[in-house]
Amino acid sequence: MDLKEYMSVRRAYSVVRQAVASDERLTFEEFAIICHLRELGEPVKTSAIAEYQGALRPTMTHRTNHLEKLGLIERAEGTSDRRNVVCSVSEKGAERALELAGLTCDQIPNGHALSRTSPDRLVKYVDAMGGFFCKAGELVLLGLRSLDGESATIMRLVDTLGLLQPTVSMSVSSLADRGLVERERSAAGAHTTSVRLTHDGEQAADELVEKIEALVVRRKPRTSN
C-alpha cells in the first residue's frame, strides 16, 4: 500500500463517519475489525484481534463491546478454554462493513488513488489498514507529507484529512510544541496560518510512511481455467 491510497481511504472514511448518527458511529479501528472478521470468515480470539491491531486487551474489549452492542459482531466462549472469548462478524456486521465501504468509495474524488475501486476491494484495504493505528496528529504529519514539502493552511489540512477543524488545530498545536511542524503567517492574510513539516517532522512522517508501505492488501485467489 502507498501513502496516496492510505490517505484516500482515511480521508473518505472520516467524511462518512461524520455523517453517521453518533450512536451508530464507528471509529476507523472498529470499522477495520468488522472488515477483518468479514474477510477471515471464521471466529477469532479477542486476543488475536488485539494482536492484529497492536492494541492492549482493555482497548480491544472496549471496541468489541461497542461492536457487539450494535449487533455487528457476536462473541462466545472458546470451545477449548472458556477464558478465550472468540468473535465473529454477524450478518448485520458483514452487511454494514460492505455498506460503509461503499459510502467510503463514494467519497473518494475522481482522479484520487482508489477512486475506481469497488466496495468489496475497499474492505480488503481497510482490513490491511487496521493493523496500523494512526492518531490524529500522525494523520496531520502524513497529510503534510503527501503535499511534497508544501506548506498548508489549517483549512487545507481539514480538506486533505476529512477531519474536523478543531481536531486539526489541536493536533497542529501539539506537533508544534514537539518541534515536528512550524507555523507561519500566510501572505494571504494576517489571520491565516500556514503549517509545514520541520526536519524532525519529515523524519517522523517518513517513518509512518514506511509502516504504511509495509501493509499488504489481500488479493482474490486466482481461479484456474
Tell the residue number behind the cell numbers 450478518, with chain if given: 91
Q: How far apart are CA 5 and CA 210, in angstroms?
A: 14
**Nearest CA to 166 among 143, 19, 174?**
174
Strands (E), the chain: 44-45, 73-77, 85-89, 152-153, 181-185, 193-197
Cβ(18)–Cβ(104) below 8 Å: no
pLDDT in tens, 165-195: 999 999 999 999 999 999 987 665 556 789 9
Q: Mean pLDDT lowest for which of 96-110, 119-133, 137-151, 183-197?
A: 183-197
| Domains with residue ranges and CATH for the chain | 3-129 (1.10.10.10), 136-213 (1.10.10.10)
84 against 56, higher pLDDT: 56
pTM, two decimal places: 0.90
Query: Span 194-205, mean pLDDT?
Result: 96
